[in-house]
Every structure is written in structure tokens, then in C-alpha cells.
């Protein structure tokens, strides 16, 4: 069955998104049709709009989203019409070299199809009114009233989970909490330093607290974000515009350096400071990113001392395992999500939402449908 719905379309990098009527031909046998209820604005969307992350256009952006299942393909099992779901952006084949080694984020099909902006089955799932096929960011394209996608990217969560909060689990919260719980080896009583207090960093602070960290040092350039970090479990705040995070790491640990650094600032200076702030034998997890063509320099000595340095893009996510756990943690009062939302807007206001994100003053702006 063909569906017509409204979507925010990017025709050209640097240009505003335009709200247009688009169509989809409905689900393939393995697909699910999700009626979107909430989608939040993430930095990765902004990188595509501003042109530092390049994809074939025209494209529907949006990859942090939740909704209600409206229709399922004939081969779909385990998902029912009416289920409340959070969308995952890491489909994987389950049987390639990297999938066999437990690294779905490196799945060969995922890495091959992603840059084309197509879905995991190699197809476009939506077209402009003119018939021109659209591409989809990160196998989703969630800034739209409807999203058609493979069932493996649709994760059922409890129905008492509010949509505008559950959507956050799909990218930023998963990445931050997952970095602390799935990727880093945080031990009870550890001192953890978190660089960057946006949505991912604030989630990382909460994950570090869940993992048993005793001291959590939050680093940012913005006092308002640091104040928010304190409400998420940070025990010390460092404004890097006036204080040196590396000195603070030493002062908090008798000069040793912190046990674990979780980085989500995405800046060359922060990257350099992470390896200086961690103790010998400690661990650095980089979550932030810069233009992939740019260089970052490190003092060689700061990399020595058996330090473990690792980049992670989705916090070791296994969405069908982790999304329901994160949703339950919220419902049990153990994970703060309300405090990450700094604004709610309609789809038509999406460009002003991205203007605010560009200014760096928001944590998460959520589109509610
Ligand atoms: Zn994201
Ligand atoms: Zn694979």
C-alpha cells in the first residue's frame, strides 16, 4: 500500500531543510512501517546539513527516534502492530567477518551500504512527489511522519515509556551510557573524567555512576552544561576555559591521572587532553568526532604507559538487548532523560532547532509529531 506523508528533506548542503510531501511504496516482507511520534536533533544530522559529513542527496535526515508500529511485512516476527518502538541505526547481517567477531558496528554490509544513504537491503524507501528517490541518513530518515525500515532496526520498549524521552535512547543516550557500561572497564571506586557535557557526555556521566565510579569529573566550556552535569552525578566540574583538565585530573588522583576518560567533546584539544589526563594503565574511550580528513596530534609520551585507547561510535550497542534495559532504567528512576530535553518543536520548526544546536546552547531538541 502506498503512503504519502510529510518529511524534512535536505536538497543541498548548507541549505535549510524543506518540509515536503513524500511517498513510500509500503513495506517489503522484512520491513516495518513506523508512525513517528518523536525524533531528536543530533550533531550527526547537523554535520550532514553543514556539509562536513557528505552523502548523496536529496536525503531525509534523522536517526534518534521513536514511534508506533503501523504495519508489518509478511515475514516479520516478534513485532506487532501497535508496539511502541525505538529505532536503531546499526543494522547488521549477523554472518560476515566482523559480525562473527561480535562487532556489528563494523558489519561489512553496514559499512558498504551506509555511505550510499540506502536502506540495508540496498533500496530507497521513499521518493519525492516528482518520483525522484530519496536517500536516508543512517538507514533511517526519521525526520518524517512515517519511516519504513527493516524489522531488525525496530526495538520494542514498554508502552509506559514516553515517546519524547524514549527517542533519546536510540543514539546519544545509548552511546554515552553504553561507553561506560559496555566499552570501558570502570571499576567500583574509580575516578572517571568526562569531556563534553552534551547529550552523550551527560549520558556517559550517568553510565559511569551506574558502573560504580566514585569520582566523576565533568569537563566543558559552558557553566550551564556543567551545572546540568552535577545533577546527573558529576562530583567535580572543570570549566576548561579557565581551568586545566589535565592538572585537575592529577590533583584528584595524587598525581596519577584518572582511571578512565570518556570523551564526547569532539575537539582536537580535548582529544589531546584525554591521553594526558589518564593514568598509566588507564583507559580512554573517544566518542566525539571531527572531520575525518583532519589530523590530531598527541605527545608521544602521553600514549605510553600501557594506556588503552579506543574509539566507539555507538557505545557497544546491541540495541535489542540494551534499549529495553535503558527504557526500564528510566522507568525505575535510575536514568535521567527529562533533563536532557531543552526544547520540543514541531516538524515545521526543524531549521530553527538546528540553528540552536549550531550555537551549542541546547542539549536535545525533540520534534514531537
Ligand atoms: Zn546521533
Ligand atoms: Zn555483518
Ligand number, closest to the Cα atom of 45: 1
Q: What angle do CA 279, 281, 285 make, to 5 degrees?
A: 75
The predicted pLDDT at position 361 comes to 84
Q: What angle do CA 27, 175, 13 make, to 5 degrees?
A: 65
Distance 365 CA to ligand 1 centre (A): 12
pLDDT per residue as tens digits for the range 4-48: 999 999 999 999 999 999 999 889 999 999 999 999 999 999 999
Distance 104 CA to ligand 2 centre (A): 6
Distance 112 CA to ligand 2 centre (A): 10
Distance 15 CA to ligand 1 centre (A): 20
pLDDT per residue as tens digits for the range 204-258: 999 999 999 999 999 999 999 999 999 999 999 999 999 999 999 999 999 999 9
Distance 54 CA to ligand 2 centre (A): 23
Strands (E), 151-249: 154-156, 191-195, 215-220, 236-239
Strands (E), the chain: 3-10, 18-24, 31-40, 59-60, 65-72, 84-87, 127-128, 135-136, 146-150, 154-156, 191-195, 215-220, 236-239, 258-263, 278-286, 308-311, 341-345, 364-368
* DSSP 8-state class, residue 14: T
The predicted pLDDT at position 95 comes to 97
Please answer whether residues 3 and 24 qualify as being in contact, where contact means their C-beta atoms are separated by less than 8 angstroms.
Answer: yes
- Ranges of residues in the chain with a pLDDT under 50 are none
The predicted pLDDT at position 157 comes to 98
In the CATH scheme, what architecture does the domain 175-311 have?
3-Layer(aba) Sandwich (3.40)
The predicted pLDDT at position 26 comes to 82
Rounded Cα distance between 277 and 255, Å, is 10
The predicted pLDDT at position 163 comes to 98
Domain 3-156+337-368 grouped into CATH 3.40.30.10: no
What are the structural domain ranges in the chain? 3-156+337-368, 175-311
The predicted pLDDT at position 234 comes to 98
pTM tops 0.85: yes
Amino acid at each position: 500500500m502506498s503512503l504519502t506523508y510529510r518529511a524534512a528533506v535536505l536538497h543541498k548542503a548548507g541549505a535549510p531543510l524543506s518540509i515536503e510531501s513524500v511517498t513510500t511504496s509500503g513495506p517489503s516482507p522484512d520491513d516495518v512501517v513506523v508512525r513517528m511520534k518523536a525524533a531528536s536533533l543530533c550533531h550527526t544530522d547537523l554535520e550532514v546539513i553543514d556539509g562536513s559529513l557528505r552523502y548523496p542527496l536529496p536525503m531525509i535526515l534523522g536517526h534518534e527516534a521513536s514511534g508506533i508500529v503501523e504495519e508489518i511485512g509478511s515475514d516479520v516476527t516478534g513485532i506487532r502492530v501497535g508496539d511502541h518502538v525505538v529505532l536503531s541505526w546499526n543494522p547488521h547481517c549477523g554472518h560476515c567477518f566482523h559480525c562473527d567477531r561480535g562487532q556489528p558496528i563494523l558489519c561489512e554490509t553496514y559499512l558498504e551500504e551506509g555511505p550510499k544513504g540506502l536502506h540495508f537491503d540496498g533500496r530507497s524507501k521513499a521518493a519525492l512527489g516528482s518520483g525522484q528517490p530519496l536517500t536516508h541518513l543512517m538507514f533511517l530518515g526519521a525526520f518524517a511522519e512515517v519511516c519504513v525500515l527493516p524489522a531488525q532496526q525496530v526495538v520494542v520498549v514498554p508502552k509506559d515509556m514516553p515517546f519524547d524521552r524514549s527517542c533519546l535512547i536510540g543514539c546519544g543516550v545509548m552511546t554515552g551510557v553504553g561507553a561506560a557500561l559496555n566499552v570501558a572497564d570502570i571499576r567500583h571506586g574509580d575516578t572517571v573524567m568526562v569531556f563534553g557535557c552534551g547529550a552523550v557526555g551527560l549520558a556517559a556521566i550517568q553510565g559511569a555512576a551506574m558502573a560504580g565510579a566514585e569520582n566523576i569529573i565533568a569537563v566543558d566550556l559552558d557553566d550551564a552544561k556543567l551545572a546540568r552535569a552535577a545533577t546527573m552525578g558529576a562530583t567535580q566540574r572543570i570549566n576548561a576555559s579557565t581551568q586545566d583538565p589535565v592538572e585537575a585530573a592529577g590533583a584528584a588522583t595524587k598525581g596519577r591521572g584518572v582511571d578512565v576518560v570518556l570523551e564526547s567533546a569532539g575537539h582536537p584539544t580535548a582529544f589531546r587532553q584525554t591521553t594526558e589526563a589518564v593514568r598509566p594503565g588507564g583507559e580512554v574511550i573517544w566518542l566525539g568526532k571531527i572531520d575525518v580528513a583532519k589530523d590530531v596530534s598527541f605527545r608521544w609520551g602521553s600514549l605510553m604507559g600501557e594506556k588503552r585507547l579506543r574509539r566507539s561510535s555507538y557505545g557497544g550497542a546491541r540495541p535489542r538487548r540494551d534499549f529495553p534495559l535503558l527504557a526500564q532504567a528510566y522507568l525505575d528512576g535510575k536514568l535521567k532523560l527529562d533533563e536532557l530535553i531543552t526544547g520540543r518543536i514541531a516538524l515545521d520548526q526543524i531549521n530553527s532547532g538546528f540553528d540552536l544546536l549550531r550555537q551549542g546552547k541546547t542539549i536535545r531538541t525533540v520534534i514531537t509529531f
